[in-house]
Amino acid sequence: MISAKPLAGQQAGNVRPIAGSTMHITAREWRWVLIVTTCLVTLAFLPLLWVALADDEFRLMGVLHNYLDGGTYFSKMQIGMAGGWLVEFLHTPEPLPGALIQTLYPFLGHVAQASGLSIPVIFHVARAAAAVFMYCAIYVCAAAIWSRVSMRRLFFVVACVSAGLGWLFAGALNTDMIPDFALLPEAFPFYSSLMNVHFPLAIAGLSLIAGLLIGALRPGAELDATFRYGWVAAGVLSLGLSVLYPQALVPLIGAVTLYAGIDWFQKRRFPVRVARYWVALVLPALPMAVYLGTVVSQMPAFAQWNQQNVTPAPSVVEMLLGFAIPLIIAVPGIIRASRRFEADGDRLMLLWLICIIVCIYLPTNIQRRFAAGIMLPIAYFAVRAVSDYWRFHVPRRIQRPVLAATLAVSVISPLLVLILPAAAAVGAPQQVTGLVLERDYAPALDWLEPQVDARDVILAAPTVGIWVPGFTGGRVVYAHPYETLDAEQRRLAVESWFAQAAGADCQTLLGSYRIRYVIVGPRERALGEAACANGLRIVRQFGEVAVYAG
């Protein structure tokens, strides 16, 4: 059980619960959380099922959102199925040394091997479990902040499903850089649950740490045994995040560092409690930070991957639009926190929000990666504003309708993000890049799986090649803009090979990368006539898809 602490203005210590409040998460609350969580997780999977069952001519390859990264997750799970733990890039033709990064997916590959289930099935089971854990963790964070159940639930709803106005302005501005409309899934819990396994787990870890910090650092918390050893739990969570998503820790550690410095400046004595949590966050994460720094600086393949893995931040205007609705609600809470700077949660959440924004706009190549968890402080200040400002400035008779209408508008972006890829895949599957492939590709990949290993290179169109490593364990010449080395050069080479007429150049690519098999189907013929394949020997034919010996 997590003790729920009083709001600012209530006395710490033995607080008498007021009507509609509780000092613990009750069984009734958990039932509400699990019902809402079940609805959200089910909703997240309905479009996936819709596409999977929609058309007999096309096959959904495994993921509906961000298929490029989905293919890389499957490839890393394939490494685990083969017994490995070190991640290497299978979307590039040359075998390279692996490293202990993104180990969650090799672990899931080991689970798939042990269970006998397929990689896509294990991926989606893990994704659903991670989403459930994330939603429960967000509510635990809410319970560590508010005693009133209504405030906890409001925080949960705003944090989990609220977003901005990307649905309204993305088309008008002709941009794909608005955070809530395809750019920052790690910032929005529901959106993150559509993408992968590690985003929801990272948000869950941040939620639990934030709840521990707010409970432990508020005045009077030293008398509460609940948080006496919370720093141990914070250390364990920090270790997990350092392996899972280390960038998410950077703004939070920065916020705790500033908190400690301000506490020392105000009181002129060493802030022991804050320092204990700072150490608990930093020390477990330090070895992994050093290791990752060594990997990307000393291993050429990972150095090039790091250089290609550029995720620039949106402009300030796009950022504001992406969080517009909850941010507008939160403004009075942020202003109040800035003026009073109280140590009851306002200070930590304000510093965390500032640190996230600063990290996002630092001149790094991973700016967007620091946005993980940003909805937690925004939702916190939105709920504080509703409680301390808006309920006094909106006429009482229309407060509930206004709140309901605001929340309804704020979920438009998440719903469109959920539905649009599925609608495109069902409505025009031939035009959808990578999400679905013609059915004949499936038996071709199934046949290739026992024929190849991680030393074999397979040539295919990029939209097919993204799935080849995850379904066969083999390599491709080009498929991913980050995980294919010399990506742009190799993309042009692959597209040119399928587009050019037969001639001497046909053998250059095959010989340079020691290609063992070539796949030619509708996606390859869309690049050209694939005349270079005419001189090769067909080893298997699956309807419109042929597999040639390289």
What DSSP assignment string belongs to 405-439? HHHHHHTHHHHHHHHHHHHHHHH-GGGS-SSEEET
Tens-digit pLDDT profile for residues 110-150: 999 999 999 999 999 999 999 999 999 999 999 999 999 99
Q: What is the Cβ-side half-sphere exposure of residue 542, based on CA atoms within 13 angstroms?
A: 18
Confidence of residue 182 (pLDDT cuts 50, 70, 90): confident
pLDDT for 16: 36
SS3 515: strand
Q: Which helix (H) or strand (E) holds 60?
A: strand 58-60
Q: Which residue has the tokens 């009083």?
A: 6
Taking the C-alpha atoms of residue 385 and residue 328, their distance in angstroms, rounded to an integer, is 10
**Residue 472: how many other CB atoms lie within 10 Å:** 26
Q: List Cβ neighbours of 235 (8 Å cut-off, separation of 6 or more).
A: 280, 281, 283, 284
pLDDT for 344: 81
SS3 346: helix
- Residue 549's beta-bridge partner residues? 517, 537
Confidence of residue 349 (pLDDT cuts 50, 70, 90): very high
Same-domain pairing of 151 and 258: yes
Tens-digit pLDDT profile for residues 444-496: 999 999 999 999 999 999 999 999 999 999 999 999 999 999 999 999 999 99
pLDDT for 3: 38
Tell me, yes or no, whether 31 lies in a domain: yes
Tell me, yes or no, whether 400 lies in a domain: yes
Same-domain pairing of 415 and 480: no
Tell me, yes or no, whether 13 lies in a domain: no
Mean pLDDT of 204-229: 83
Tell me, yes or no, whether 21 lies in a domain: no
Mean pLDDT of 357-376: 96
Task: Decide which of 421, 447, 477 is a domain's last residue.
Answer: 421
Mean pLDDT of 410-417: 96
Same-domain pairing of 313 and 169: yes
Q: Is the pLDDT of residue 525 over 70?
A: yes
For the chain, the residue count is 550
Same-domain pairing of 124 and 204: yes
Same-domain pairing of 445 and 488: yes
Tell me, yes or no, whether 111 lies in a domain: no
Task: Decide which of 361, 388, 421 is a domain's last residue.
Answer: 421
Q: Is the pLDDT of residue 363 over 80?
A: yes
Tell me, yes or no, whether 279 lies in a domain: yes
- Residues of the domain holding 492: 436-549
Taking the C-alpha atoms of residue 303 and residue 96, their distance in angstroms, rounded to an integer, is 12
Task: Decide which of 392, 421, 450 is a domain's last residue.
Answer: 421
Mean pLDDT of 218-224: 70
Same-domain pairing of 339 and 442: no
Give the strand pairing for 436-438 and 475-476. unpaired
Same-domain pairing of 322 and 285: yes
Same-domain pairing of 413 and 457: no
Taking the C-alpha atoms of residue 105 and residue 458, their distance in angstroms, rounded to an integer, is 23
Same-domain pairing of 235 and 269: yes
pLDDT for 224: 65
pLDDT for 4: 39
Residue whose C-alpha is closest to residue 134's, from 193, 45, 211, 200: 200
Least confident of 220-234, 334-348, 428-442: 220-234
SS3 218: coil
Q: Which residue has the tokens 């006429």?
A: 395
CATH of the domain at 535: 3.40.50.12610
Taking the C-alpha atoms of residue 112 and residue 104, their distance in angstroms, rounded to an integer, is 12
Q: Is the pLDDT of residue 227 over 80?
A: no
Taking the C-alpha atoms of residue 163 and residue 185, their distance in angstroms, rounded to an integer, is 11
Question: Count of domains in the chain?
Answer: 2
Same-domain pairing of 342 and 446: no
Same-domain pairing of 180 and 242: yes
What does the DSSP 8-state code read for residue 90? Answer: T
Q: Is the pLDDT of residue 426 over 50?
A: yes
Same-domain pairing of 416 and 471: no
Beta strands in 164-292 (DSSP E): none
Confidence of residue 56 (pLDDT cuts 50, 70, 90): confident
Confidence of residue 17 (pLDDT cuts 50, 70, 90): very low
Tell me, yes or no, whether 37 lies in a domain: yes
Taking the C-alpha atoms of residue 413 and residue 409, their distance in angstroms, rounded to an integer, is 8
